[in-house]
Amino acid sequence: MPKKQKSFADKLKKFERSGSVCPVCEQEFVVVKQVKSVPAESGAWKFNQNIIKVCKCNEAEVYAL
Ligand SMILES: [Zn+2]
């Protein structure tokens, strides 16, 4: 039986699959839930929920909102 070896490439693949690490800055994503209230056609307000993955690439953008 061949032993399971975890190479760096394997680990990288795992990260890509889970999407938990940004391939650009190699930082772990922080998942942020953003709730926006938007006017609905009926005149009431509805809430849009956005799940955003934040890393160094977009944190300035996201937290500026
Ligand atoms: Zn990034």
Condensed to tens digits (0 to 9), the pLDDT of residues 30-59 reads 888 888 899 998 999 999 998 889 999 999
pTM exceeding 0.75: no
Residue-range domain boundaries for the chain: 30-65
Q: What's the rounded mean pLDDT across residues 15-41? A: 83
d(Cα 29, Cα 43) in Å, to the nearest integer?
36
Rounded to the nearest angstrom, the distance between the alpha carbon of 3 and the centre of ligand 1 is: 34
Looking at residue 5, what is its pLDDT?
73
Rounded to the nearest angstrom, the distance between the alpha carbon of 54 and the centre of ligand 1 is: 8
pLDDT at residue 15 above 90? Answer: no
d(Cα 62, Cα 53) in Å, to the nearest integer?
9
